[in-house]
A and B are shown apart, each in its own frame.
Chain A
Amino acid sequence: MVENRPGFNFLAHAILVAGVILVAFPLWVTFVASTLRYEEIVAVPMPLIPGDQLVANYTQVLTGGSTKGSQAPVGTMLFNSFVMAMGVAIGKIAISIISAFAIVYFRFPLRNFFFWMIFVTLMLPIEVRIIPTFKVASDLGLLDSYGGLILPIVASATATFLFRQFFLTIPDELAEAARIDGAGPIRFFWDVVLPLSKTSMAALFVILFILGWNEYLWPLLITSQESMYTVVIGIKRMIAGGDATTEWNLVMATAILALLPPALVVILMQKWFVKGLVETEK
C-alpha cells in the first residue's frame, strides 16, 4: 500500500467481495439445487437455502445416473475421468522429460528437427484435425478404451519446453562432475536431473491433471459406450432437453462431483498451481 486512504480501502474490499460473490454465485445455486427435490426446483423461484435431499441425490447419481435421461452411473464416469487425468498428466510428464533431456544433453543429427516437430504440435490442436485423428484412433482399435482416451493427447510441447528451460539452468559442473565420476547419461538423469526436477514436475502435474480431467472434445469423439464416458461428457447426456424433462437436481449433483476434484487440486495445491500456470505460459 502506497498511502493510507480509508475510503479507497473500503472501495477495494467492496469490489473484491462483489467479485467473489459473482464468481461463487453459480456454485452456490448449483450446490443448493443438488440438495433439493425435483419439484422444489421446478417451483419457480427455487429456494436459495439447501434442502434435505443431499444424500439421496448424490447416491442416486453415483450409482444410477438420472432416472429420465442417461442412466449411466456417475461413479464409473468419475473413475474414467480420474484414469484419464492421471494417465494424461503422468504420460505427458514422462515422455516430455526424457525428450527434453535428449535435446539438452546430447548433440545428434536431427536434434533441431525433432525440437521443431514438437514445437509445431502447438499449432495443431485437436479442433483442426477432428475427423482424421478420429480415423487414426479408430484404425488402431482405440475407440472406447483408456488407451484411446490417453494416448493421442499425450504429446506435449509445453511440458517439453518447460523441462528444456529448466535443464538449461542446471549448472554444467554437475554434469561434468558426474562424468568424471564415471556416471553415464542414464545414471546422471536418474540420480541428478530427476531429483532436481521435482518441483517443476509437481507444478506441471497440477496443471496437466486439470487439463486432462476437463478435456471435452476428444472423449466426446472417442467414447460411444456409457461405461467409457468421462464425467464432463456424461453430464451433457443427462440434460434430456427442455427445462421440464431434465432432472436438474441430479444434473447439478453431477456438476458438483465433476468440478470438485480439479477445484480441490487448485485450492489445496495453490502454490504449485500458480507456479505451474506461470511457467507453462513462458
Chain B
Amino acid sequence: MEKRVVFRSAWLPYALVAPQIAITIIFFFWPAAQAVYYSFLVQDPFGLSTQFVWFQNFQELFQNDHYLASFKITAIFSALVAFSGLAISLLLAVMADHVVRGALAYKTLLIWPYAVAPAIAGVLWAFLFAPSIGIVSYFLRRMGYDWNWVLQGDQAMALIVIASTWKQISYNFLFFLAGLQSIPRSLLEAAAIDGATPFRRFWTIVFPLLSPTTFFLLVINIVYAFFGTFGVVDATTQGGPAGATQILVYKVYYDGVKAADLGGSAAQSVVLMAIVIVLTVVQFRFVEKKVQY
C-alpha cells in the first residue's frame, strides 16, 4: 500500500529515520555481525590471542553432548509450555465466551499475570514449591510425594514449565476470547437447532474456525518459551540441577558471561539467530494466511 499524496524534502526523511537507524546499526547490526565473526574464532584461556578457525566451533558444538542435551531440553520445555498454555487458556476462553454474567470480572481477574515479569513469576512459584518451606511442597509431602526440585531434574523442569505457563495464560486467553467472539453466532445457532450438543459444536465448528488464532498463538508461545523465559530460569533453577533445565538461551548466557567461552557462546548465538529467523519467517509468511478452514 502506498500513499498518493507525499511530501517532498531532500533531507527531512533522512533526519526522521536517523535515530531509529542509528540505534539499529550500533546496537543490533554491529553486535550481530560481531557475534557471527566471533563464532569463527577461538580464544586462549587468558584472552591474549585469538585464532581464526572457520567452522570448528560449530563442529564442536554439535558434537558436544551438553549442547545436544540442551536442545532436547528446550524442545521438551517449549512443547510443554505451548501445549499446556494453549489448552488451559482455550478452556477458560470458551467458558468466558459462554457466560453472560460476570464475563468482564472474569476477564479482569485472568489477564493480570501478563504484567508479571518472568523473573518475578519464577520467584513466586519457587516460593510455593520451595523444598523445605513451600506450602505446595508441604501438601505434596503429605500426599507421600517426595518433592525437591533443587535435587530432581524432572521436578525442576515441572517448576519452570508451571511458572512460564502461568504467566502466558492471560495472553493466550485474550486472543482466544477475541477469536471466539468473531465466530458468527448464526452458525452455532443453526447447529444447536439441528441438535448438536455444545461439545459437538465445539469440535466441529468452533475449533476449526479458531485454527488461525491457534496457529498464531502456537508460534508466539514457542518464541516465548525459547526467548521469553530466561528470567524464569535465572530466578529459579539457573539451569540446574545438573543441566536439567538448561534451555538454549540460558546456556548461551552462561557460557558467554559466566564461563567466558567467547567462540563457543558466539556459535550458539548464531544457531539461535537461525532459529529466530525461521520462526519470524513462519510468523509473517504463514500465520493468518495459509491456515484456512
Contact = CB atoms under 8 A, between A and B. Distances in A.
Interface string A240-269: 000110001001100100110011011100
Contacts of B8: 106
Contacts of A19: 88, 91-92, 95, 106, 110
A84 to B, nearest CB: 12
Contact of A155 (B27, B31, B38): B27
Given A12-B99, A131-B265, A263-B116, A124 B32 contact: yes
A107 B6 contact: yes
B106 A179 contact: no
A102 B115 contact: no
Interface stretch (B46-54, B65-73, B75-83, B117-125): B117-125
A79 interface: no
Contacts of B204: none
B13 A106 contact: yes
Contact of B166 (A26, A122, A235): A26
A45 B20 contact: no
Interface string A110-134: 0100100110111111011111110
Interface stretch (B55-63, B153-161, B251-259): B251-259
B193 to A, nearest CB: 9
Contacts of A274: 174
Contacts of B269: 127-131
Contacts of B189: 2
Interface residues on B, range: 35 or more
A248 B107 CA distance: 31
Interface residues of A, number: 106
B35 A168 contact: no
Nearest to A113: B21
B108 interface: yes
Interface in A13-59: 13, 15-16, 19-20, 23-27, 29-30, 33, 41-42, 44-46, 48
B27 A1 contact: no
Contacts of A202: none
B113 interface: yes
A168 B1 contact: yes
B16 A102 contact: yes
Contacts of A217: 230-231, 253
A160 interface: yes
Interface in B251-280: 252-253, 256-257, 262, 265-266, 269-270, 272-273, 276-277, 280
B280 A129 contact: no
B19 interface: yes
A86 interface: no
Contact of A23 (B102, B128, B166, B256): B166
Given A23-B113, A251-B127, A131 B266 contact: yes
B119 A236 contact: yes
Contact of A130 (B106, B115, B256): B256
Contact of A267 (B6, B17, B35, B108): B108
Nearest to B116: A259
Interface in B1-57: 1, 3-9, 12-14, 16-17, 19-21, 23-32, 34-35, 38
A23 B115 CA distance: 13
A270 B108 contact: yes
A244 B134 CA distance: 11
A193 to B, nearest CB: 11
A102 B256 contact: no
Contacts of A194: none
A26 B136 CA distance: 10
Contacts of B185: 2
Contacts of B138: 44-45
A185 interface: yes
Contacts of A172: 3-5
B178 interface: yes
A91 to B, nearest CB: 9
A68 B1 CA distance: 60
B135 interface: yes
Looking at B88, B133, B185, the one whose CB has the most chain A CB atoms below 10 A away is B133
Interface in A55-106: 95-96, 98-99, 101-106
A143 to B, nearest CB: 14
A98 B24 contact: no
B176 interface: no
Contacts of A13: 95, 99, 102
7 contacts: A15-B92, A16-B102, A99-B21, A106-B13, A251-B127, A255-B124, A277-B174
Given A23-B166, A121-B24, A128-B273, 14 more contacts: A45-B135, A45-B138, A123-B280, A129-B35, A129-B269, A131-B262, A160-B20, A168-B1, A235-B123, A258-B117, A259-B120, A262-B115, A263-B115, A270-B111
